[in-house]
């Protein structure tokens, strides 16, 4: 997978109010950072995934999020969950998830 300029622009718009937002292409995907702390990624495929554990992961699952569990046919247990579909159309909702991820990382 190669992340397109359109995907990067979408992520930048979606998370526009997150401070010190930056992105970095990596391993065919995209890391999404705030002040150097990764809180989300694109991948595998086109999915926007939020870094989450514990209660945040439980809340993402309750909203229909799915955990990143396989990569190239191998089982992995990465702490990344798909962003709920509703958040893809609502930057305020997406940014709420991002802020919760960043608070957990702090």
Question: Are the C-beta atoms of residues 16 and 70 closer than 8 Å to each other?
Answer: no
Average pLDDT over residues 37-62: 92
Question: Are the C-beta atoms of residues 23 and 32 closer than 8 Å to each other?
Answer: yes
The Cα–Cα gap between 93 and 99 comes to 10
Residue 48 has pLDDT above 90, yes or no: yes
The confidence score (pLDDT) of residue 88 equals 94
Average pLDDT over residues 7-34: 94
The Cα–Cα gap between 73 and 51 comes to 21
pTM: 0.89
The Cα–Cα gap between 68 and 32 comes to 16
The Cα–Cα gap between 4 and 74 comes to 25
Can you name the residues that pair with 59 across neighbouring β-strands? none
Average pLDDT over residues 42-48: 84
Kindly list the structural domains of the chain, giving each domain's residue range(s) and its CATH number in brackets, ordered by start.
Answer: 5-105 (3.30.1460.30)
């Amino acid at each position: 997978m190669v992340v397109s300029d359109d995907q990067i622009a979408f992520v930048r718009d979606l998370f526009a109010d997150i401070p010190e937002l930056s992105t970095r292409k990596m391993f065919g995907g995209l890391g999404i950072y705030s002040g150097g702390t990764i809180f989300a990624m694109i991948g595998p495929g086109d999915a926007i995934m939020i870094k989450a554990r514990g209660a945040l992961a439980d809340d993402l699952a309750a909203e229909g999020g799915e955990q990143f569990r396989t990569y190239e046919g191998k089982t992995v247990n990465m702490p990344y969950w798909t962003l709920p579909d509703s958040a893809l159309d609502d930057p305020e909702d997406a940014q709420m998830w991002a802020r919760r991820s960043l608070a957990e990382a702090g």
